[in-house]
Structure 1
Amino acid sequence: MTRILKTGLPPVLFGVTMLALWQLLTVAAGVPSFLLPSPSAIADAFSSNFDAIAKAAVATGTNALIGLFVGAFLGIAAAMLAVRFEVVGGLLGALSAGAAAVPIVALAPLLNSMYSTTTDFPRRLVAAIVVFFPVFVSTVRGLRQVPQVQSDLMTAYAATGWQITRTVRLPAALPHLFTGLRIAAPGAVIAAIIAEYFGGLQHGLGSRITSAAANTAYPRAWAYVTAAMILGLLFLTAVLLLEQLTRRPRTTLWRSK
């Protein structure tokens, strides 16, 4: 309990303090809502539009989650191939670096024009591409840091390449894999939202933010932005919880006779 308070209380106090200063600044200085709405105005817009915000968050979250799963799966599979075959590793490394260098704002409208505007496939594809690079790079680094003596021992026991990867390399690479997932999970949400700015179905957080801002409903636009922040934090929290579960120590019961 003490550890939770030490780690969780400071950011909570900092957030509350910043919100209080934000409220005081906007009210006392009379800042117009189109420049910066007050937290109370954003909270009112959030509560009054909660159903619409929840539906938009579900739509964006679904696209981001599918992109996260697909990108992570492809990144892990590509990392295993890259470590197993050096030629494949060089090719995949160059391709992943090239894909990571392409800006989302340039990729999203291109994919939207290539595919139907009545499907979420382009947004999920953008999220998967964004997720692929950090997962691939982190997993490759983890797979290559396995001590050679462990691989030699498994080879001496006539283990196949897949058995060595499954029993030695993958467990050792888990910390690096989760490092990539911690970067990729919020990135999937950001990619899905940005992809929604460039046409297609108008049911996600990105399109709702654009629509609210265009109609000068700035507190409502900030309410959708708040929902996007919460969604990104939920994705990151899920990855952190999964990482803690994989790090749970295994206990052995000893019986004395």
Structure 2
Amino acid sequence: MNRKHGGANAVMRWLAALALAMAVALALAGPALAEPEPGQAAQAQALALLDQGELAAAGGHFDKAEQLWQEALRARPAWPVAQQRLAQLPARRQGYAAQVARIARDQKASLDFVEGVTLFNQGDYAGAAKIFQNVAEVLPGHPFARQYLADAQAQAQAIGYGSLTVESNLPAKISLDGRAVGVTPLTLDDLPVGEHVLTAEANDAQARQTVVIHGRSTSLATFSFREVEAR
């Protein structure tokens, strides 16, 4: 009976010692398993900073990207990947700026097309054709610019010419597109449709304005000069 109790007590003591040894081993091994080595932590930090910098650069925030990549390089000195990102940064800045400018140019061309349609509907076919020509050059794939351009050019050619009446409060010498055409008041016929530069001179003063000639109609331009009192 005593031998049985003695054997049981020995087994219990052995199990207790084994449990204590395992607890000590786990306590010693636990922190080592939970915490990465210092080098691995630095690499993980550098990789996270690299990814954050890439996101910033993709959004056009290049100053922030440069800061993050510099931090990645400090966390992982002489890291070729971070060095490459920093070396490519000036080119990426320029490329992004060019892309933004291209988008702005395309958006402006789209708005210009709407203006061209408005001029077309108002009968200013020459002005509309000029706008459609620019839109077609900026946006070669525009679905309507070239068709509207052809229609505007055909309409402008069919209309052909218009007239211009020039008036002023004083008799003034008039030049049209740099060519003297007479003294006010006067009416000029058979002028090509579109924009023309009109210059008037009176009493040693000169005035200039741009006029638009519409086909089969008469445009009006007026000038006003200060009268000089006779002495």
- The TM-score bracket by the shorter chain reads under 0.3
State which structure, 1 or 2, has the greater radius of gyration over its C-alpha atoms: 2
Q: Which has the higher contact order (CA 8 A, sep 6+)?
A: 1
Structure with a larger share of its residues in strand: 2
- Greater percentage in helix: 1
